[in-house]
Amino acid sequence: MDGMSLDPGIAARLKRNPEGLVPAIAQQYDTGEVLMLAWMNDEALHRTLTTGRATYWSRSRSELWVKGDTSGHVQHVKAVALDCDGDTVLVKVDQVGAACHTGDHTCFDAAPLEIPVG
């Protein structure tokens, strides 16, 4: 990690799953639209905070990935917050292009689930 690591105060607040990960919600900073959910380890969060580019942990590839490095669909970080329990990260970003790997603007563009009215 280039001799750098996550601030100990932030690291102490995180509640990680058994794999050492926390879910990270990416949200468009100016509209509030939820774009995607990904995972972060300490290094991904450190890089996100220090580079201004959203960085995540790929569970399928077991490696860090910087959003947009291959697709060009970059997430420029505007703000980062932990939830009250320290078990979820909110990353407010300026999304360039599609957030979803399918090419959709958001990963939540699919048809909404039906809710029975009762």
The domain tally of the chain equals: 1
Strands (E), the chain: 22-28, 34-40, 55-58, 63-66, 75-82, 89-95
Q: Would 105 be classed as within a structural domain? A: no
> pLDDT category, 1, cuts 50, 70, 90?
very low
Condensed to tens digits (0 to 9), the pLDDT of residues 52-86 reads 999 999 999 999 999 999 899 999 999 999 999 99
Tell me the residue range of the domain where 31 lies.
21-95
What's the pLDDT score for residue 43? 97
Check if the beta carbon of residue 83 is closer than 8 Å to that of residue 90.
yes
pTM of the model: 0.90
Taking alpha carbons only, the member of 39, 52, 44 closest to residue 92 is 52
Q: Would 4 be classed as within a structural domain? A: no
State the average pLDDT for the chain: 93
Q: Would 35 be classed as within a structural domain? A: yes
Region 8-17: mean pLDDT is: 96
The domain that contains 45 carries what CATH number? Answer: 3.10.20.810
